[in-house]
Chain A
Amino acid sequence: MAVAAPAVRPGARVRPGLVVSLLVLAALVVAVAAPGLITRVDPLAADPLRALAPPGAGHPLGTDHLGRDVLARVVYGARHSLGIGVLATALAVGAGSLLGLAAGLAGRLAGEALARLFDVLSTFPELLLALLVIAVTGPGTWNVVAAIGIAQLPTYARVVRAQTFVVRRSGYVEQAVTFGHSRLRVIVRHVLPNAVGPVPVLATIGLGQAVIATSGLSFLGMGPQPPAPEWGTMLAESRDFLRVAPWEAFAPGLALTLSVVCLTIAGRHLQRRFEGRTP
């Protein structure tokens, strides 16, 4: 993405939505990296005597049915929910890009075969495909990463394959051939970096979806197992107490919604900025 920095117009419009989103995302990064900075309470410490306490002093967001601090659980839960989302997206981006590149460079038969495989995979709804993977591998944090990663992989693979077609026919790749470079050198130095141009923007939006999928799978009991604080798991646990202690569901639900909305806003902004600018 070798683009000259766009000239900042004087008085360019400040987008409040974007600013708020970036602030929320910054807070989430802190929660993932150093949850101890936000709360000193242990998210696993149960106190049955103070179960289902409403928000108040000591417990700003109240306690859950086992008397655990909801704020601490939401903060520590970011590491699970977002962490799995980030890892799954990384898997999808990495494997998807490589497979897309391979499909774009392979001979007609192998390339088409791979492309049809991506097509078949993307006909399944993401969550269904992920459930299928879990059905084979069984529940657990790493299996959720693999499941969501595989489910999202076709998106990136298809984009990279299409870009690879453009780049491999470009003047600069032909030029590199005339320098007598090996095929591998041409691919690594010219084709791959130019073909993955649109991926970072896609990945930002994909990350939001991966976080939702993570929580969805956890809600169904496929993800990190209790007592691990994961937003989806917390929502599942709070179901029975919705009438008496709505705060137990409200806090993880809000955290989930907020992070996905903010990720999407940031992603869309990136998309707008780089629209038509990828080489």
Chain B
Amino acid sequence: MTELAVTRAHPAAGAAPLVAVEDLRVSFPASGVEAVRGLSLSIAPGECVALVGESGSGKSVTARSLIGLAGPGARVRASAFRVGGGDALTFGPREWRRLRGRFAGLVLQDALVSLDPLRTVGAEITEVLAEHDVVPRAARPERVRALLEAVGVPDPEVRVRQYPHQLSGGLRQRALIASAIAAEPELIIADEPTTALDVTVQAQILRLLADRKAAGTALLMISHDLAVVAEIADRVLVMKDGLVVEEGPAREVLTAPRHDYTRALLAAVPSVSAGPRRPPRSPGTAPPDPVLAATGLSVSYGSRTAVDGVSFQLRPGETLGVVGESGSGKTTLARLALGLLAPDAGEVTLRGGPWSRLPERERRPLRAAIQVIAQNPLDSFDPRHTVGRLVADPIHTLPKRRRRERVAELLDRVGLPPELLGRRPRELSGGQRQRVAIARALASRPEVLICDEPVSALDVSIQAQVLDLLAEIQAQDGTALLFISHDLGVVRHLSDRVLVMKDGRAVEEGDADEVFHRPRHPYTRELLAAVPRLPGRAE
């Protein structure tokens, strides 16, 4: 990875900062939104500064303003604004363009969106090289290859000719980073660079960014994930509502936060190493019969086996966590459990009786007992219906008055005000939507709740609220949860037992403590090792 000559000599201490902005204010006069309200920031060469905050805190707008991309209609003001040695307050479009790529490379969350689908990876990177005239034309193919190698893309000769859709998420993100560093920028701005990635791939990308930093490139990292930030940042700025509420060396901010908001954010991060959530069942009592059980489930799509011989048992009041990376068959397993997909082999039983074997007509009356909370509630809501209608949908057979009472009761239970009854899904926040989804899933008083990545799309503090709500519901109703997530911390937070999936197979199953503390399968160990950790948390 070192053959590329983009390594910069470490600048002498006290070198002029690459970016120095005082009292930055960004507003959107058309909508009256003040996204950033007085932020000061400086980034020195070879330094990694992290902007941390939840959605809408202004962190992305801040980063974009630094390269003149605050957005159409944005009004950017500052009392001092120096970027790359020039006075950015006087910059016109041409000056900004010259900075982008050459001075600052941008890496965004979703490489599939950021890369042109009609161009090969090679063409994408070559364009950056040509635009900034980094190397002579003849040397470009060799440089592209070297760049891809530097970011750890295997077989660069093959990948150069491939299109973004032919690459996995991790490779796409690497290709995007390769194009961002192609013009040898002094600063990389990475906006949630690992949010869309699996945990093992995330670890690789973070290592790659750390390498660039070690080579002398400054890094501005934007993330909602404090643990990711802890891995790499030198300094952390915590943003809330367009203001920096806390700022300091990463270790200090993350271990001894001074501001309440930082403390709340840290407390909300689910940990893979936290102690048991509740006392284990006393060993004397015989375990109740499983309410949902699967034996030897297999299903394939064409030649690809999505789920391969998976068995599990879920007892009343218990949470079985299912972890695995994308493509491991988690969602297929959920669909099998719900009876939305018929297994090729094996069987699912509900309350000890047949379930997957039943024809749909006979399954229908039993469906009230098993409900689902989907990852993206917006997809699972009929866009034309109001909250009131959505929640009443599963219980439409009740008389109207009884139904209305039940809906009010359910909204109250998930902590939503009755004013939301008339709203449509698009008019709700992410957390509110997930609460509506939970209220709806509870309407028929199910014995089993299947949660398929129920908090993956939510900010960390909202995530914690939703997880607490699920735990509370389970404690009160004795509902059994099949909890599917790629996030080991989230699974750890809620599960009694854990099932680890890889390539459609259950590679490990056991008591949550056991699996997290003494993983037996090498893949489980790899997963756990890849999870970024906050400093100062007990291992």
Contacts and interface: CB of A to CB of B under 8 A. Distances in A.
B405 to A, nearest CB: 19
Given A2-B384, A193-B384, A171 B379 contact: yes
B393 A176 contact: yes
A188 B379 CA distance: 19
Contacts of B382: 172, 176, 189-190, 194
B228 to A, nearest CB: 29
B384 A178 contact: no
* Residue picked from B340, B379, B384, most chain A C-beta under 10 Å: B384
B367 A179 contact: yes
Contacts of A174: 340, 380
Nearest to B379: A171
A178 B379 contact: no
Interface stretch (B137-145, B369-377, B504-512): B369-377
B37 interface: no
A140 interface: no
A11 to B, nearest CB: 12
B394 A179 contact: yes
Given A4-B427, A171-B376, A179 B383 contact: no
Interface string B123-161: 000000000000000000000000000000000000000
Most chain B beta-carbon neighbours within 10 Å: one of A3, A171, A176, A279: A171
Interface string B416-449: 0000000010110000000000000000100000
Contact of B424 (A2, A185, A190): A2
A172 B365 contact: no
A1 B383 CA distance: 8
A172 B380 contact: yes
Contacts of A189: 382
Contacts of A193: 384
A137 interface: no
B393 A180 contact: no
A116 B273 CA distance: 60
Contact of B368 (A3, A4, A177, A180): A180
B524 to A, nearest CB: 31
Nearest to A191: B382
Contacts of A179: 367-368, 371, 393-394, 444
B381 A178 contact: no
A177 B383 CA distance: 16
Contacts of A194: 382-384
B383 A2 contact: yes
A175 B366 CA distance: 15
Contacts of A181: 364, 393, 396
A182 interface: yes
B374 A182 contact: no
A176 B381 CA distance: 9
B447 to A, nearest CB: 14
B334 to A, nearest CB: 11
Contacts of B340: 174, 177-178
B209 interface: no
Contacts of B384: 1-2, 193-194, 279
Q: For chain A, which range describes its interface: under 10, 10 to 19, 20 to 34, or 35 or more residues? A: 20 to 34
A257 interface: no
A170 interface: yes
A279 B425 CA distance: 12
Interface string A185-210: 10001100110000000000000000
Contact of A4 (B380, B396, B426): B426
What secondary structure prevails in chain A residues at the interface with B? helix
B422 to A, nearest CB: 12
A137 to B, nearest CB: 39
Contact of B374 (A2, A175, A176, A185): A175
Contacts of B396: 181, 185
Given A171-B379, A172-B380, A172-B381, A178 B371 contact: yes
B338 interface: yes
B383 A279 contact: yes
Contacts of A279: 383-384
Interface string B221-259: 000000000000000000000000000000000000000
B471 to A, nearest CB: 22
Nearest to B339: A178
Contacts of B366: 180
A182 B364 contact: yes
A178 B372 contact: yes
Given A2-B424, A180-B365, A175 B383 contact: no
A185 B371 CA distance: 18
A174 B335 CA distance: 10
Nearest to B443: A179
A171 B368 contact: no
Contacts of B371: 178-179
Contacts of B338: 178
Nearest to B389: A189
A171 B380 contact: yes
A242 B371 CA distance: 74
Nearest to A174: B340
Contacts of B383: 2, 172, 194, 279
Contacts of B385: 2
B424 A178 contact: no
A250 B396 CA distance: 59
A185 B381 CA distance: 16
Nearest to B450: A178
A172 B382 CA distance: 5
Nearest to A3: B426
Contact of A172 (B364, B379, B394, B424): B379
Interface string A143-181: 000000000000000000000000000111011111111
Contacts of A175: 372, 374, 380-381
Interface in B350-378: 363-368, 370-372, 374, 376
Nearest to A279: B383
Interface string A96-118: 00000000000000000000000
Interface in A59-75: none
A41 B326 CA distance: 76
Contacts of A190: 382
B375 to A, nearest CB: 9
Contacts of B393: 176, 179, 181
Interface string A242-279: 00000000000000000000000000000000000001
A166 to B, nearest CB: 12
Interface string A1-31: 1111000000000000000000000000000
30 contacts: A1-B384, A2-B384, A2-B385, A3-B426, A4-B424, A4-B427, A170-B379, A171-B380, A172-B379, A172-B381, A174-B380, A175-B372, A175-B381, A176-B382, A177-B367, A178-B367, A178-B370, A179-B371, A179-B393, A179-B394, A180-B366, A180-B367, A180-B368, A182-B364, A189-B382, A190-B382, A193-B384, A194-B382, A194-B383, A279-B383
Interface of A: 1-4, 170-172, 174-182, 185, 189-190, 193-194, 279
The 8 closest A-B pairs by CB, nearest first: A180-B367, A171-B379, A179-B394, A279-B383, A2-B384, A171-B380, A180-B364, A175-B380
